[in-house]
Amino acid sequence: MIIVTGSEGEIGRALARRAVEEGLTVAAWDLADRVAAAEEADPAGGTVHRRAVDVTDEASIAAGLEAARSRGPLRYLVNNAAPPAAYARGFAAGVDGVLGSVEKVTRQFCAAVGEDGERWRDDAAIVNVSSVAGTAVALGADWYAAGKAGVVGYTRYLVGSGRAALRVNCVAPGLIATSRSIALQTSDLGRRVVERTPMGRAGHADEVAEVALFLASPLASYVNGAVVVVDGGLLCVP
């Protein structure tokens, strides 16, 4: 079982699709209105189980985890949900929406997978989705950059402190061409970012999903606490 939060955005859908192709059962979490719209357009079935889960609400997360566990052992979590960088939000609320939700879901997920009494779970992993905005590039609002930087720090904290008895890694996308990033893509800043990117284009959702699922998979069994940048080489440009 893999849980994908923010499942109805382009990156979330790419994660779910590729996970199914790898033979995984997917618990696809998003807000109620987004789940309802997705079900109407493309009813889920088989190995994808959509559920309305508010990742800022402890009770909603707990119910989502219980539903996921009823369908099979929890193995992987991809913390992909976050407000778009273009949203106008207050700093504290914005940071909590990005980082606080990751902490809430991760804490409950770790407790759930640890209930079998094992100290370490070789077959379980978490992948947090950050952004180059949280590493070195000023993209989006202040709260977005601060929250995504916090996701990187929280990932490393979980590993270094031993708080998570499983692997935790992070993927940091650059400018990705999605419907939620249209405002940024068409802005002067977005155009400058593409011009500076050695590959000369924005990334695609599938390119982020592939890296995230690699980090979750047994192929990355000794990768722990890593931050993998998926930005077409943007951070290599001075």
Positions annotated as catalytic residues are 144
Helices 205-216 and 10-21: crossing angle in degrees, nearest 10, is 50
Hey, what are 8's tokens?
Answer: 């109805």
DSSP the chain: -EEEESTTSHHHHHHHHHHHHTT--EEEEE-HHHHHHHHHHS---TTEEEEE--TT-HHHHHHHHHHHHTTS---EEEE-----TTS---HHHHHIIIIIHHHHHHHHHHHHHGGG--S--TT-EEEEE--GGGTT---S-HHHHHHHHHHHHHHHHHHHHT-SSSEEEEEEE-SB--GGGHHHHTSHHHHHHHHHSTT-S-B-HHHHHHHHHHHHSGGGTT--S-EEEESTTGGG--
